[in-house]
Amino acid sequence: MSTSQKPRIGITVGDLNGIGPEVVIKALNDSRLTNLITPVVYGSTRVLSFYKKQLNLEEFNYGHIKSPGQYIPKTINVVNCWEEVIEITPGKPSKSAGTAARLALTQATQDLKAGLIDAMVTAPIDKNTIHGDNFPFRGHTEYLADFFQTKNFLMLMVSETLRVGLVTEHVPLKDVASNITPELVTSKLQLLEQSLRKDFGINKPKLAVLGLNPHAGDGGLIGTEDENILKPIIQDWKNKGKIIAGPFPADGFFASGNYTRYDGVLAMYHDQGLVPFKLLSFENGVNYTAGLPVVRTSPDHGTAYAIAGKNQANETSLRQAIYSAIDIVNSRTIPSKEN
């Protein structure tokens, strides 16, 4: 991307029967946003037309892209990712909608790799309807890591006041402790620090590590992982001159507001990080995949079938995901001062 060019942000519509198309339309209906980027929507003009009528937004206009990368200036560009007519039934999961979501994601990912877009923002998918022989993945993150052959990546939840990375993501709770190894924790810490520098422009990030067990193990009385695994890693990083603290008991860390003192927080498992994050930042939270060679963000909510098609969905998180993608693309063009 040249310095004079607007960032070309690809946006997938996600599950056709969820709130994805609605929040995409609502976010892009704001000219303040579209003046900053060249938006490229991956889905179909028929889907946008359907929800445009549902939302009574007759002034919402877009153009169909006929040649890859040939975007129309000052226009919402749409890439049709399938030709067949797919029935749209808001609020009702369907395999056909899952197939459409996969096709949109595949096309956007290919264009991202080819350099036709500068970043990708993904609206929510239904993991049950999209899953199959053509998509044997748990979600977007695993698919993208496989596509870009990235072994080490980090699920990073981002808002204006909080950034939370996860050591384990979609792992059953009974298996979390066995996954907390020195190698994995160190790898995730490295990804968190690198992303804060490279993607968010923080040259000397302040890092906090949450304990695995209640009371961070209470000196070994409640599990040994905090004493035997986390504390030695934290001390080693301190010896190397890193600004890092922990392991913190998760409850007190968030309840006291201690999180505001740090640029990034490393949580041990999904709910430990995401429950407080969504309580504190739900409407403007963003899911970012750190460690990829490309930029991908998404809103921090799901398909929300219960309100799909009812004009009740809030587009704030999707809009913030777009803004975050812009900021990260811009940050990656500025070399970090810290090696």
For residue range 61-103, list pLDDT tens digits in order: 999 998 999 998 889 999 999 999 999 999 999 999 999 999 9
Tell me what percent of the residues of the chain surpass a pLDDT of 70. Answer: 97
Q: What does the pLDDT look like over 130-165, one tens digit per residue?
A: 998 889 988 898 899 999 999 999 999 999 989 999
pLDDT at 51: 96
pLDDT at 2: 47
**Mind giving me the DSSP string for 176-244?**
HHHH--HHHHHHHHHHHHHHHHHTT--SS-EEEEE-SSGGGGGGGTS-SHIIIIIHHHHHHHHHTT-EE
How far apart (Å, rounded) are the C-alpha atoms in residues 270 and 51? Answer: 33
pLDDT at 101: 96
Helix (H, G, I), strand (E, B) or coil at 90: coil
Cβ count within 10 A of residue 202 = 18
Structure tokens at 131: 């899953």
pLDDT band at 282 (very low <50, low <70, confident <90, very high): confident
Q: What does the pLDDT look like over 21-60, one tens digit per residue?
A: 999 999 999 988 889 999 999 999 999 999 999 999 988 9
**Mind giving me the DSSP string for 188-206?**
HHHHHHHHHHHTT--SS-E
- The whole-chain average pLDDT of the chain stands at 93
Helix (H, G, I), strand (E, B) or coil at 77: strand
Tell me what percent of the residues of the chain surpass a pLDDT of 90. Answer: 86
Provide mean pLDDT across the span 233-243.
98
**Mind giving me the DSSP string for 290-326?**
ETSSS-EEEESS---GGGTTTT----HHHHHHHHHHH
Q: What does the pLDDT look like over 185-213, one tens digit per residue?
A: 999 999 999 999 999 999 999 999 999 99
- In the chain, what are the domains? 1-150+292-339 (3.40.718.10), 152-291 (3.40.718.10)
50: burial class by Cβ within 10 Å (0-12, 13-18, 19+)? Answer: middle
Of 122-136, 254-268, 325-339, which range is least confident?
325-339
The dihedrals phi and psi of 59, each to the nearest 5 degrees, come to -80, -5
pLDDT at 73: 84
In this predicted structure, the answer to whether residue 338 has a pLDDT above a threshold of 50 is: no
Provide mean pLDDT across the span 291-317.
95
Name the DSSP class of 246: E
Cβ count within 10 A of residue 298 = 27
In this predicted structure, the answer to whether residue 169 has a pLDDT above a threshold of 60 is: yes
Of 67-76, 238-247, 270-279, which range is least confident?
67-76
In this predicted structure, the answer to whether residue 337 has a pLDDT above a threshold of 60 is: no
Provide mean pLDDT across the span 10-22.
97
pLDDT at 334: 67
